[in-house]
Chain A
């Protein structure tokens, strides 16, 4: 379909962007051109309808939370800035500081703690309660506990000792459909609903966990 020819005069007339002379001239055109006049009237009605139904100000949903979140993020940014300033100190100081800090940020620690759980899920037709065989949290300050919530029909993972997760971080999870254990290699592999491997957990000769994860898609 051929696009309509642009009529900038019509647009400028509609939006009040013409000076007095231009407007008078265009008004004359409208009087002599019924088609143009009809088009102008339609566009004016369209603009009025849009303005009526698109307010320039709207009530913000959960406005108090909106403000408080901004304050939280500002506080976090300032704390980050303060840490960055310290990080700019001499290397020996940075190393010293590094040794005193948890070696992962809170979100990362949370993720690894979850992923490091060795869990065994029964067959699909069995109750969905998982059996927690052992747990591992890279951050030694973090303690993990689990319990089964009957009402939610879910195994709940509790992590105590995490730093507060920054407000701008979005926490997401993965759904593990089933797991398989291989006693020979002392490994556990977790699978998603499509049967693809999500995670494999094993231990090296010193007993430290070895974790293989699939790179998340897109």
Chain B
């Protein structure tokens, strides 16, 4: 397979790398993987809440992206396109795991194991007691999100973590704006009930 020499990866645009990848240059694709693996992994992790599965699904997303690259239109943003693939891969996984019944996820069915080398808290160098508090809050939030249905979890991640606008969310899911607002409303209500003591300290 062709593998051209790629100059300083930071300077190379997504479009250049995508063009080279479409021509079969796996080194160019490797740079795209390195560039976006942290964001794709964060998304799969937040949705799946399991280190190992999130790692596998992120990999699956990149493999699917490689397969689909010949169909990728260069006028679209590569990350947005890749993000959509990763989202669909994760959401399909979530739906398969969905518990029949009340539609709610049970915390016992998702694990929050942290793999060696994993970083699940924001970067920084807070004092040890603050770091512990951050870790606790982080775990509480993860646990609360794990209890949401896949549909509710999905809108929370897309809105709160990715900061996407309603129209962008509606395009990814896809569904109507009214459905997005409705899901966001109920998802937040559920999180509000579970995390009241957590966020109250910030009021």
Name A residues whose Cβ lies closer than 8 Å to a Cβ of B: 3-4, 6-8, 10-12, 15, 17, 41-43, 45-63, 66-67, 69-71, 73-75, 77-78
Q: Do A49 and B59 have beta carbons less than 8 Å apart?
A: no
Q: Nearest chain-B residue to A7 (Cβ)? A: B185
A118 to B93, CA, bound (A): 39
Interface-forming stretch among B5-13, B30-38, B95-103? B30-38
**Interchain CB contact under 8 A, B199 and A46:** yes
Known: A15-B159, A53-B134, A54-B160. A60 touches B41 (CB 8 A): yes
Chain B residues with CB under 8 Å of chain A are: 1, 26, 29-30, 33-34, 37-39, 41-43, 45-46, 51, 55, 58-59, 62-63, 66-67, 115-123, 134, 137-138, 141, 145, 156-157, 159-163, 165-166, 178, 181-182, 184-186, 188-189, 191-192, 195-196, 198-200, 202-203
A-B contact pairs, 11 of them (CB 8 A): A3-B186, A12-B166, A43-B192, A45-B202, A51-B161, A55-B122, A56-B42, A59-B117, A67-B33, A70-B63, A74-B29
- Which residue from chain B places its CB closest to the CB of A168 in the assembled complex? B63
The docked-state distance in angstroms from the alpha carbon of A78 to that of B84 is 24
Q: A50 touching B141 by the CB < 8 A rule?
A: yes
Interface of A is mostly: helix
**Known contacts A74-B26, A74-B29, A50 near B156 by CB under 8 Å:** yes
B184 touches A11 (CB 8 A): yes
Query: B55 near A61 (CB under 8 angstroms)?
Result: yes
- Chain B contact residues: over half helix, strand or loop, or mixed? helix
Give the tally of cross-chain contacts (CB within 8 A).
145
How far apart are the CA atoms of A208 and B1 in the complex, in Å?
43
- Kindly state the separation between the CA atoms of A53 and B116 in the bound complex, as whole angstroms: 19
Bound complex: CA A43 to CA B202 (Å): 11
Q: A43-B188, A70-B30, A77-B67 are in contact. Are A54 and B137 (CB under 8 A)?
A: no
Nearest CB in chain A: distance from B2 CB, A:
11
Bound complex: CA of A42 vs CA of B185, how far in Å? 13
The minimal Cβ–Cβ distance linking A76 to chain B, given in whole angstroms, is 10
- Chain B residue with Cβ nearest A6: B185
Are the CB atoms of B58 and A56 closer together than 8 Å?
no
User: Are the C-beta atoms of A61 and B39 separated by less than 8 Å?
Assistant: no
